[in-house]
Structure 1
Amino acid sequence: MQKTIFSSMEPSKQFCPNSTCCARGHIGAGNIVIHDRKRERYRCTCCRKTFSARRGTMLEGLRKPTELIVIVVTLLAYGCPIQAIVHAFGLDERTVASWRDRAGAHCQLVHQDVIETGQLDLQHVQADELRVKGSKMVAWMGLAMMVKTRLWLAGTVSLTRDRALADRLLQQVRRCAESLKALLVLTDGWAAYPGSIKRAFREKVKEKPGRGRACLCVWPQLHIGTVIKRTQKKRVVEVTRTMSYGSQEEAERLLQQSGGGSVLNTAFIERLNATMRQRLAPLTRKCRQSARRLRPLETGMYLLGATYNLCWPHHELCKPTHEGRACTPAMAAGLTDHIWSVSELLHYKVAPPPWVESKGRGRRKKQAQPPAPAAQPARLRPLVRLHKGVLCSATS
């Protein structure tokens, strides 16, 4: 007789996903118990609701083996074309595309929960944008990275290369940064960058005491550099380096402190652009994987960015001059203490915000009044007539 082997279940690491539960998002509170080991379901003792162990992960609702899904997502993160995966594993092309989009959406939540926490002393950031030639469309992908740890910070996709693209990109970088720290931002010669950087990195300051609104002031230690390259016959013949905002001395100090070279440059973000073009199939030049919509570009970008930050050891960080050990950008930034596997990334759960009891402010709601008695039918209603100015019943 074959013996059934159940997977290990740990209720202490789970939280209630019910949005109406008073204990939602609480980990280790003792309110989660095992409901069914065979189906891998938990139960919350507060709201009495049950939920699957896959709830909140990329694998929720999928019936294919977990090992197959992890292998397919790993191949997608390395730039393997969808058609090759379809022929190798006998899957449907729409299934593989759906797994890519689900994995990318899940990696976006992981990025927001792990990277965009406002705890990073960025020091030196480089930003650039990629031109994506799709099927009957041209899109733009903005990218930004932290030079010291090679951490990918932000990415956004748009059909137009306008100020809104730069604003979204730099606002995402701002959500990663610790407030009021010395920061150097290097970009190319696009005129929209300096204004977007100033709008992103500013704080509310009350200049005069008393009543009145506070004004938004740019960080005092913000420095913006611009690197413009002039090419001729696809070769760089001239490089112009200028400071758009801040001082040259502080910029050179931050460059030396972050290990970003001795002069203003955008070499690190250009290397990340090359990694994106190598591992994201729609970005490969002269290929048959052209994107038709922005959604595959965005989900593929987050899938590659999350695995780049958390799963793949960086070659430069493994040198003795840096960490000297197998290290990912997230480990170098102090966001995690180990190298994540792709399975761990897909099983990661983002806890919802904890439930907060309402303070009961505002006007009290009116109490519901009991409904009025129903009117009697006309045939049972007593007849009333007027007799000499006096109301009399017909039955009297």
Structure 2
Amino acid sequence: MANMLPRERQLAVLAALIDGNSERATERMTGVQQKTIGRFALRIGKAAQSLHNTMAHDLSCSLIESDEVWTFVKEKQARVTAEENAAGLGEAYTFTALAMPSRYVVTWYVGKRDEVSAGTFIADLRARLVVMPSLTSDGFPAYPGSVGSSFGPGVDFAQVIKHFTRNGRRDDDHRYEPPRNPFRTKRVVFGAPNIDVATTAHVERNNGTMRHHIGRMRRLCYAFSKNVEHHKSAVSLAYTYFNLCHIVKTTRVTPAMSVGVANHVWELPELLEALLSVPETAAPNRKPLAPRKPEGTARELPGGRGFLRVVQGGAAPSPPSAPAPPPSPPKPAAPSSAAPDAVRPAGPPGQLDLLTWRPRPRVPVQLPLFGELEPE
């Protein structure tokens, strides 16, 4: 009992951690010893993942963006050994799935930027949904295989690929300030997504917000993580706080309220009570996916088999136009009592004007090669 922090101190530590402060800064602000803060942060961070598992399931999010946030644990990747890399040290990417337009973080996963981490992340995303989404990601090559194995080829999946070049050559060190003569290309991987609205801009904006709430993810500072479990706990705590307590300016409610998993804005005392009392909960199991109701012109197929919708493609061929009516023949010249020579073409005797129509003479005329025109 003597080692239990008072509730006011616990709230002060929680408020300092979710504002992105390091453990040493939190110690100076609250007067709580650093090791105590570390143990408390690890406990509520693991509880945050369980709290998220109890709430984030059976979701009907139809538009999802995914991206990865780079950081490192203990030291940069170039300095870690093979054993340390296997233990999770070095580069630690946070895979994030953001639902739009609610900004709800459906799931996250901390690991290496490889096929194993991408497959685990997409499988967890699939288990939390009950509606087939339209998914957009960056150009990470491991996504198509992971999305195909978890969602199948019926998902609408597109990738937004950024090309970082400098003087025609790729710049490998583009994490801090990429050279911005970029061009973005979009490509359809599965299904028929709306390529005009496919983007990762919102999840990239969310990455910047989370770097503020998670001090361990900031660049070029000494607040990086030294332990993998502490890093994962800090990430879980920050994303859970963002979903339940952060009010989005565009929607004026929290992301959890937008998707229907909460009916009010959570305050810090309520969040702390939930974190200290939630039981350990595993991730949900996958359930069948219902087809997503498309936007725009669509017709539902019988038996709940999906929708028949209009897909933007090439220009349809125009129907053949009706043939133009034949030109009406010119009216014959009115008969006159003039001599036959009056209807003969004017001009030089040896040349004909083929572009001017003239009525046929009543008297047959033979055109000689030489000399004057004479009737037969």
Q: Return the letter of the residue paired with 2:226.
A: R
1:275-320: CA deviation from partner (whole Å, max 9, x where unpaired): 12121111111111121221122101110001100011111212xx
Corresponding residue SS for 1:314: coil
* Superposition deviation, residue 351 in structure 1: 5.9
Return the match for 1:270 from 197, 200, 204.
Answer: 204
What does residue 157 of structure 2 align with?
224
Contact in 2 for aligned 1:126/1:147 (Cα 8 Å): yes
Return the match for 2:110 from 143, 157, 160.
Answer: 157
What does residue 146 of structure 2 align with?
196
* Superposition deviation, residue 126 in structure 1: 0.9
Contact in 1 for aligned 2:61/2:259 (Cα 8 Å): no
* Superposition deviation, residue 231 in structure 1: 2.4
Q: Return the letter of the residue paired with 1:132.
A: T
Contact in 2 for aligned 1:79/1:279 (Cα 8 Å): yes
* Superposition deviation, residue 346 in structure 1: 2.1
* Superposition deviation, residue 88 in structure 1: 2.2
What CA distance in whole angstroms lies between the structure 1 residues aligned with 2:244 and 2:3? 24
Greater share of residues in strand: 1
* Superposition deviation, residue 182 in structure 1: 3.7
What CA distance in whole angstroms lies between the structure 2 residues aligned with 1:109 and 1:226? 31
What CA distance in whole angstroms lies between the structure 2 residues aligned with 1:87 and 1:188? 40
What does residue 119 of structure 2 align with?
167
What does residue 268 of structure 2 align with?
342
What does residue 51 of structure 1 align with?
none
Contact in 2 for aligned 1:131/1:138 (Cα 8 Å): yes
1:20-55: CA deviation from partner (whole Å, max 9, x where unpaired): xxxxxxxxxxxxxxxxxxxxxxxxxxxxxxxxxxxx
Out of 224-233 and 334-343, give the one that drifted further. Answer: 224-233
Contact in 2 for aligned 1:106/1:346 (Cα 8 Å): no
CA distance 1:228–1:61, shift in 2 (3 Å): farther
Q: Which runs of 5+ in 2 are unaligned?
A: 76-89, 166-177, 282-376
What CA distance in whole angstroms lies between the structure 2 residues aligned with 1:127 and 1:61? 45
What CA distance in whole angstroms lies between the structure 2 residues aligned with 1:352 and 1:80? 27
Contact in 2 for aligned 1:229/1:236 (Cα 8 Å): no
Contact in 2 for aligned 1:154/1:173 (Cα 8 Å): yes
What CA distance in whole angstroms lies between the structure 1 residues aligned with 2:49 and 2:203? 20
What CA distance in whole angstroms lies between the structure 1 residues aligned with 2:126 and 2:181? 32
What CA distance in whole angstroms lies between the structure 2 residues aligned with 1:140 and 1:331? 28
1:193-247: CA deviation from partner (whole Å, max 9, x where unpaired): 011112222xxxxxxxxxxxxxxxx263x11101001124521521000101111
What CA distance in whole angstroms lies between the structure 2 residues aligned with 1:341 and 1:219? 42
Return the match for 2:4 from 63, 69, 78.
Answer: 63
Q: Return the letter of the residue paired with 2:189.
A: S
Aligned runs of 1:349-368 on 2, under 5 Å? 349-350=277-278
What CA distance in whole angstroms lies between the structure 1 residues aligned with 2:32 and 2:278? 29
* Superposition deviation, residue 347 in structure 1: 1.4
What does residue 96 of structure 1 align with?
37
Return the match for 1:106 from 47, 67, 74.
Answer: 47
1:314-334: CA deviation from partner (whole Å, max 9, x where unpaired): 11212xxxxxxxx10000001
What CA distance in whole angstroms lies between the structure 1 residues aligned with 2:148 and 2:261? 27
What CA distance in whole angstroms lies between the structure 2 residues aligned with 1:333 and 1:184? 16
Aligned runs of 1:305-384 on 2, under 5 Å? 305-318=239-252, 327-348=253-274, 349-350=277-278
What does residue 184 of structure 2 align with?
239
Q: Does 1:144 align with 2:97?
A: yes
1:236-277: CA deviation from partner (whole Å, max 9, x where unpaired): 521000101111xxx22xx8xxxxxx4321001101111121
What CA distance in whole angstroms lies between the structure 2 residues aligned with 1:282 and 1:108? 18
What CA distance in whole angstroms lies between the structure 1 residues aligned with 2:3 and 2:124? 31
What does residue 15 of structure 1 align with?
none
Return the match for 1:74 from 15, 22, 26.
Answer: 15
What does residue 176 of structure 1 align with?
128
Q: How many residue pairs get matched?
A: 253
Contact in 2 for aligned 1:225/1:241 (Cα 8 Å): yes
Q: Does 1:293 align with 2:293?
A: no
Contact in 1 for aligned 2:210/2:238 (Cα 8 Å): yes
* Superposition deviation, residue 168 in structure 1: 1.3
CA distance 1:86–1:124, shift in 2 (3 Å): same
Q: Return the letter of the residue paired with 1:246.
A: G
- Bigger Rg over Cα: 2
Corresponding residue SS for 1:241: strand
What CA distance in whole angstroms lies between the structure 1 residues aligned with 2:102 and 2:22? 30
Q: Return the letter of the residue paired with 2:26.
A: I
1:364-395: CA deviation from partner (whole Å, max 9, x where unpaired): xxxxxxxxxxxxxxxxxxxxxxxxxxxxxxxx
Contact in 1 for aligned 2:50/2:280 (Cα 8 Å): no
* Superposition deviation, residue 61 in structure 1: 9.9
What CA distance in whole angstroms lies between the structure 1 residues aligned with 2:43 and 2:226? 18
